[in-house]
Structure 1
Amino acid sequence: MPKLDGTHILERLRERLEDLRQGKEVAARDFRALLTEEQEAAMDAAWAEQQALRKKKRARTNEEEVAFGWKTKREIHIETYEQALVQADDGMLETFEQLQRDAKVRQARIYMKSYSKAIDAGKTEEVAESLANNDLTRAGLNRIDGQRVGFQSKRDREVWEMEQKILGRIRSEMTPEELEQLDLAEEHEKALRERGKKLGR
């Protein structure tokens, strides 16, 4: 089974939280699978506190239960998932940055392995570059030569859309000075790309 990354966990936390709020039954194994050890420990501690509270104070009515601060196990689970969702959402930018770094490393490995193999087989540099770029396309990664390939999986589109939303949110929270610096950096990168194309790079 593939390892879940932050984007999967966030989506599944939302689904499980919605199930809990609607009163659906969630297996303990499924429920705990999305929590960190710290979140599990905090949830277990909250339930232990509730059990101790019930032994100290006996409530006869629902109003007394509320007044004493009693909570059901489901309410504690919902609170835990709400906190886990906030933490996962806060860490989303770091998750995307890590995913991008991992993709760049994977891209470099695939490209260099394919390129070296082609050169060792006596292919020309141009052919080796083309073969390496084709291997990147098959792996679903961006090509080094910048050529766009039409194939994109549903997951790639979803990640790209999420990435654009996060970048938009970050941009909206920037100060005018930060926005100006970002615009200058983007213009500089664009100029470098255009210069590279003119030089045939």
Structure 2
Amino acid sequence: MTKRIEQLEAGDEIADKEIRSLLNDAQRAELDSAWEQQQQLRANKRARTEQEQQALGWKNKRQVRIEVLKAALASAWDGIEAEFERLKEQAEIRGAKIYFDTLNQALKDGKDKSVAANLANNAMTRAGLRRMDGQPIGMQGLTKRDRELRAMEDAIQQKAESEMDDYEREQLELLQEYEKAVLANSKKRGG
């Protein structure tokens, strides 16, 4: 819409149907009524010079279109935060419904609590929503650039590991075992 406004202000010709396609029904009616008012103004009050036209409030079709498009753009931005919050809330409700429905069904089927939670989180992943346990969803949801960066980082890490001597390899293995033990211990504590 901003591109079309800039084109109109620059003096470019834009087809009427293209402008109308950017507007909703109420905005189209506003455009039509604004142009009708200009036609009535021209029929009732004649002006001979541009100064008289400006004093009487005459506008050409381009100026009327620019005004209506600017008003439509402003109204679109006015409601964007509320719409974002509404969509965010809907996603949270949908996620909670999927999670708890799957969790309850798994518990009714006699599954263990942790298994039921895993099944519910898997259902969240399948739905394309953030998991309740906070685990990343892997490559899903990443842009092409992010996937390429991860692949490059993995290749660099593999190359660095292949160039390690025995002592460095042993230290890396010790570090990995320590991190696994810390993770397992924090899971036992419930953190």
- Give the TM-score normalised by the residue count of structure 1: 0.58
75-84 vs 112-121, greater mean Cα deviation: 112-121
The 1:34/1:144 distance shift into structure 2, 3 A limit, reads farther
Deviations 1:29-69 (A, max 9, x none): x5345545543333322111101011112344444433332
Tell me if the contact between 1:43 and 1:77 (Cα under 8 Å) persists in the aligned partners: yes
Alignment partner for residue 91 of structure 2, among 103, 125, 139?
A: 103
Whether 1:53 aligns to 2:41 is: yes
Alignment of 1:1-201 (within 5 A): 13-22=1-10, 23-28=12-17, 30-150=18-138, 151-152=140-141, 200=190
Q: Distance in 2 between matches of 1:52 and 1:39?
A: 20
Q: Give the AA of the match of 1:17.
A: I
Deviations 1:67-111 (A, max 9, x none): 332112222121112112222222222122111111111112222
Percent of paired sites with the same residue: 44
Tell me if the contact between 1:16 and 1:26 (Cα under 8 Å) persists in the aligned partners: no
50-59 vs 115-124, greater mean Cα deviation: 115-124
Please give the root-mean-square deviation of Cα atoms over the aligned residues, in Å: 3.1
Relative contact order higher in (CA < 8 Å, ≥ 6 apart): 1
Q: Give the AA of the match of 1:25.
A: I
Q: Give the AA of the match of 1:200.
A: G
Q: Distance in 1 between matches of 2:131 and 2:13?
A: 45
SS of 1:99's equivalent?
helix
Q: Distance in 2 between matches of 1:198 and 1:42?
A: 64
SS of 1:146's equivalent?
coil
Q: Which runs of 5+ in 2 are unaligned?
A: 144-186
- Give the TM-score normalised by the residue count of structure 2: 0.61
- The count of residues paired between Structure 1 and Structure 2 equals 147
